[in-house]
Amino acid sequence: GPVDGHDYEKLFETLQYAKKTKGPVLVHVITKKGKGYKPAESDVIGTWHGTGPYKIESGDFVKPKEVAPAWSAVVSETVLKLARADERIVAITPAMPVGSKLEKFQKEFPDRMIDVGIAEQHATTMAAGMATQGMKPFLAIYSTFLQRAYDQVVHDICRQNLNVFIGIDRSGLVGADGETHQGVFDISFLRHLPNMVLMMPKDENEGQHLVYTAMQYEDGPIALRYARGNGLGVHMDEELKAIPIGTWETLKEGTQAAILTFGTTIPMAMEAAERLEKAGVSVKVVNARFIKPMDEAYLHDLLGKNIPILTIEEACLIGGFGTGVVEFASENGYHSALVERMGIPDRFIEHGSVTKLLEEIGLTTDAVVDRIHTMIPSKQKRA
């Protein structure tokens, strides 16, 4: 090469030649993103990086009417609100200012918004360095890309116990972003790190309060997981408040079983619990918004009741939240506890809509109802 990637005959000829060559071969191919479609060719900010439905004539995207704000916007706009009152707050992103909805922050505080390009390790170490100087960095980074910066999270942030707020965007299944962007491993590779606090909100109102909590926290690194897509359209409190670290909340009372979950799977758990209630099964639903540290007082009380516990997470099961609950039960002598887990199985999840993928891996309301039924002996169910 270099070879014109839009000259099919020349490209085919080059690849055939490369195929016949013994040993490693590097083919240098030059292409123009969006070649042949002017709206895509002229895109300089990544709007056409991934596409939904659009009008061919104009290039305008056909977007469904939004009934709730995007999760990325909830987080970034809360950070912006806090930055207006605290000049120590800075935002850092590795080439995702648009995806992470940081355009407003960048416009209002251009000197406090840093896009380092596709360099996740650099972004993470920069956040650590700024924290050593008393700044309050907000590192907005997709879950799948945080994997690249694992060593920097360990050695530069956690080992030094620095006050860095990591916004883990695109946590969980991501739908249109595709297989490589599924954000399902971050709990497993962050939960075991000393000093790390890990959270995920049940809705956008709790989300803004957890952002405030993170910015008020001064005892080390803290991370907030949030999904791709939009919130639930709940009422947003005017006044922000800090939520005590490591505290859970009861969303529904129940006496025969308990579901521990957080984030995007809470609606699923609530619907399952309501259906079970109608079938004579009383199930408690717990918002385990702090994945680490867990609410140990809550767990002691729950495990002491000796009722079945089901954990649900839109994340990797191995080393995940449910594993943490099992570990807690074992380490604290609750050897008769029945704890079962639902989540992402030990395989890579393909491209598809979130709804379809959840059905494929058996993470649905029906599956939760069936699992609870199997965990409770028939004689314990109410008539």
> Residue 318 and residue 188: Cα distance in Å, rounded?
7
> Residue 255 and residue 339: Cα distance in Å, rounded?
15
Instruction: For residue 140, list its beta bridge partners.
Output: 167
- 28: Cβ contacts below 8 Å, ≥ 6 apart: 1, 2, 3
- The set of catalytic residues is 33, 120, 148
Other CB atoms within 10 A of residue 65 CB? 4
Instruction: For residue 166, list its beta bridge partners.
Output: 139, 223
Report the relative pairing of strands 283-287 and 249-252 from DSSP bridges: antiparallel
> Residue 367 and residue 376: Cα distance in Å, rounded?
15
* Residue type (1 letter), 284: K
> Residue 259 and residue 286: Cα distance in Å, rounded?
6
- Phi and psi at residue 276, in whole multiples of 5°? -65, -40
- Phi and psi at residue 317, in whole multiples of 5°? -70, -40
Could you tell me the two tokens for 59? Answer: 């290039």
Could you tell me the two tokens for 176? Answer: 């249109």
Whether the CB-CB separation of 116 and 139 falls below 8 Å is answered with no
> Residue 312 and residue 330: Cα distance in Å, rounded?
19
Any idea which residue has 């999760």 for tokens?
Answer: 71
> Residue 144 and residue 169: Cα distance in Å, rounded?
9
Whether the CB-CB separation of 191 and 162 falls below 8 Å is answered with no
- 215: Cβ contacts below 8 Å, ≥ 6 apart: 79, 82, 86, 89, 136, 138, 165
Number of Cα atoms under 13 Å in the Cβ half of residue 277: 14
Whether the CB-CB separation of 234 and 204 falls below 8 Å is answered with yes
